[in-house]
Each structure stands twice: as C-alpha cells, then as structure tokens.
Structure 1
Amino acid sequence: MSARRTGVQVPGMRARRLLGVFRFLIAAIEVVALVGNFEYVLGFRLFATANFFSYFTVQSAFLAVVVLLVAGAFALFADHDPPWLGTVRTIVTVYVIVSGIVFGLIVSQASTFSYRIEVPWSDTLLHFVVPALVVVAWTVDSVLAVNPPVPWSTLGWVLAYPVAWLAFTLVRGADLGWYPYFFLDEAQVGGWVGVLVGCLVCLVIFLALTAVFVAVNRWLWRRARARRAAPPGAPRRRAARAGSPAPRP
C-alpha cells in the first residue's frame, strides 16, 4: 500500500516531488539543446540529417529525454521508482557523461588532427550543462534513499548499446566514408589498430564510470537508511560506550 493511501509521509517525499520537477526541467533543457544544435548544423553546406542523428551524443540525449520524463512522472506520482528505472537512469547518466568526456577530448585534440571545432551554446548545453544537471539529479535521488539501490548487474547492461552503436557506426562509416568521431576513422588514427584502441578506451570508460556510480549509489543508500533507522538515543549510547559521559538532559 502506498504512503499516499495510508496518509503516511515517506521521509524525503517532498524532496522527491521537487526532484520530479527537476527531472522535467532537465529534459526540457535537453530538448532545447537538441533543437539548437540541429539548427546550428543546418548552416553547414555538406550537412546531412542522417549524420546528425548518428552521433552518440544526439542518440544518448534522446534517450535521456525519454528516461527523464518517465522518471519525473514516477517521482511526482509514485512513492518510489521501480528497480529497473534505477538501472536505466544510471546507464543513461553514464552515456551523457561519456558523451561530454569524449567531446571535451575531441575539442582539445582537434588541432592535432587538423580539425577546427566550434563549441556553440547548444553543444555547451548538450555536452557539459546537461550532464552536470543529470549527475546532480542522480546524486540527490541516491541521497534520499527512497528508491531501491542500483544493482551491480547494471555493469552487465551498460555496454549493450555502445557496442551495438560502434558496430553500426563502423560499418556505416566504411560504406559512406564518414564517421561521427575522428578516432573511428582509420585514416586519421593510423589504421584499424588505432580504431580498436579508441573503441576499447571508450568501453573501459563506460564500465569504470558505471562501477563508480553503482558503488556511490549503494553507499549513499546504506548511509541514508542507517540514519533513518537509528533510534534517537543511538549517538548518546555510542558516546557512553566510548568512555565519554553522556550529556545531562
């Protein structure tokens, strides 16, 4: 039976409702960023719509919008998220963060490969602002400990989409002669060995970030539940056992 039906307010539920609004706000910002970025690339003479939608950043941004809207609805109208949503939210959070990391690396290394990359406001939103906001929402959600903890099995799912995307992108790139990221183009990274190294580095980043997120979520969840379950006199009894006199009432 839900807390709404029983009239019992679950700890942190008001904050959870605010978190739901925050999730909707991030989704709205992501949509603005996507629209702005699409309008920006329309100004390029060789622009192709299919190429725009082939970027991992763009695809992960669409995933983030859908997941944020679903998660926002759960936060507003349910006492907790279903367990599967915690897994999906963590995975999508990792995706948008990796997109930002890769974009930052590309911008910093572009001149080495004779690239000139501009960073319009839409790219700033997509690659830096939204990932930061998503991490904030994810962290607050973990601190509230209203939702089930994220399972370690999340590590087994996070690579499914990136591996499929890499396979499709490499096949499509070989056919069209165009790649969304220069480290996937063998002509620019010294052959297929360079491409393989780039792909492996990306996959390791996905796994490492996911492991960190799951570990942090479970740690914050345990701490929040321990504080919530501790009796009011627990700190006083711990002080007495340590040899410190308990304060007088």
Structure 2
Amino acid sequence: MNVTELSRRGRAAYWVVAALAWAGVASTIIISTLGGYAPPTYVEEGLFAGAAHGWSGAPQRLADCLSYFTELSNIIVALISTMLARRGSVGRWGRATHLCSLMMITVTAIVYATLIGPYEVLSGFALVTNPLQHIVVPAAFVGTAALAGPRGGITWGTLGRALLIPVAWVAYTLVRGAFTHQYPYGFVNVWRIGYAQVAINIVAILIGALLFMALFAGADWAIRQAGRTDTSRSEDA
C-alpha cells in the first residue's frame, strides 16, 4: 500500500481542520444536551422531538444529537484530521476512514445546501454552530484533502472498508428507531413512510456514497498523475 506522507504545511492545515471540527462537535453536543437551541416551529411526526425540559431530558437530547449523520460526519472528520496532523500518514484503515469522511462531510454539506439551509431560519447559538458544521468544516476538510493529500492507497478494498461507517449508522438508526419510534431524518422515518420506502432510500444513498468515493478516488488519481507529469518535465528540462 503506497500512501504519501503529508508535508509540514499539510499537517499544519489538518491541525486547523481538526480544531474547527472539534470546536463544532463540542459546542453542538454541549448546547444540545443543555437544551440551548431554540425548539423548531414544526416537527414532522416520527422525527426526533419530545425530550423533557431541564436535566431530565438531557440524556435523550445527547443521544439524539449523536445520532445525526451531520454530527457523525463531523466527529469522523475531527478524528482523522487529528490523526493526520499528528502522524502525517495513515495505514490501510486510516486511508479508508479518510475517504469515508470525505464522502460523509460532502453529503452533509450538499444536503444542507440544497434541502435544509434554504428553508431553515437560524437563531441563537445555531447562527454559529450550524454554518460551522455544514459549511466551514466541509469546505476546510475537502480543500485540505485536495491540496495536501494524502495521496494513493485507494483500492476496491478501501472502498468497501469506507462504507462500513455509513452502513453501521443506518443499522443503528433503524434499530434505535424501532424502540423509540423516532428517527433523525425524513428519508429514514419508518413510522411515516414504512420500511419498504426506507430500504429504497438507503440503497439509493449507499449507491450515491459509492459514486462520491469513486469520484474522490478518481480525483486522487488525476492529481497524482499530474504530479508525475510535472516531475518528468522538470527532470527532462
């Protein structure tokens, strides 16, 4: 497995991404658990809602917060960015995690920009934490990956390993929802649309995830090829 090591600047850039991601994760978890966010004006039946006010509802608010795909994607970005900043390189599973985090945070940003953001009215703490987790961190992480790497080390096995986290999230969401009858998003809201439609939605999402990861793998290959071409030209000059 041939994965490039990061330069000093690349590691510094990942320290910045890690700081942004951890700040977003920590603040969102704390504010959610303490009930600091303004309640939504409308909640679709079957989606997260109904936690008791005060400390009695804190455990449910914490569990709900950690169950969102957005939060998971930001946590994965924070972890892999910290690892790359400290070590400068990754192994087989780290490469898969990096590819997975690229896909997850990109999906988070696109879904927010197209389906949530245009219809959402932010207030209070959400004016800071929402853009941080849906716009700033995705842009910083994808941009750093494009400019700094790591490069190489992507195989069919990498794609398979990279799907394990999203598949685990889907399984957890459905199992938890079977007991609580509440789900984080409408496309997995079994109570409202049923298991058949949810299964169709999940298959479509996993196919989309594979396409996103294939796109990132292709971009990685193109960048490496361009780098080799530039090196060859410099040696021939």
Quickly name the TM-score band, shorter chain normalised: 0.7 to 0.9
Q: Determine if the alignment matches structure 1 residue 217 to structure 2 residue 224.
A: no
2:106 is aligned to: 97
Q: Determine if the alignment matches structure 1 residue 158 to structure 2 residue 150.
A: no
Which of structures 1 and 2 has the larger relative contact order (alpha carbons within 8 angstroms, sep 6+)? Answer: 2
Which residue identity lines up with residue 155 of structure 1 in the other structure?
A: L
What 5-or-longer segments of structure 1 have no aligned partner?
1-11, 111-115, 235-249
2-side partners of 1:216 and 1:134: how far apart?
15
Q: Provide the secondary structure at the position in 1 that maps to 2:162.
A: coil
1:49 is aligned to: 62
1:113 is aligned to: none
Larger radius of gyration: 1
2:16 is aligned to: 25
Residues 154 and 210, structure 1, Cα contact 8 Å, conserved in 2: no
TM-score (norm 2): 0.76
TM-score (norm 1): 0.73
2:206 is aligned to: 203
Q: Determine if the alignment matches structure 1 residue 38 to structure 2 residue 38.
A: no
Relative distance call for 1:120 and 1:108 in structure 2 (3 A) is closer
The alignment-based identity, stated in percent, is 23
Relative distance call for 1:104 and 1:183 in structure 2 (3 A) is farther
Residues 95 and 154, structure 2, Cα contact 8 Å, conserved in 1: yes
Aligned length: 209
2:230 is aligned to: 227
Which of 106, 111, 116 is residue 107 of structure 1 equivalent to? Answer: 116
1-side partners of 2:117 and 2:201: how far apart?
16
1:238 is aligned to: none
Residues 152 and 220, structure 2, Cα contact 8 Å, conserved in 1: no
Relative distance call for 1:81 and 1:185 in structure 2 (3 A) is closer
CA RMSD of aligned residues (A): 2.7
Q: Determine if the alignment matches structure 1 residue 87 to structure 2 residue 96.
A: yes
Which residue identity lines up with residue 221 of structure 2 in the other structure?
A: R
Which residue identity lines up with residue 208 of structure 1 in the other structure?
A: L
Residues 158 and 207, structure 1, Cα contact 8 Å, conserved in 2: no
1:176 is aligned to: 180
1-side partners of 2:62 and 2:118: how far apart?
26
Superposition deviation, residue 161 in structure 1: 1.5
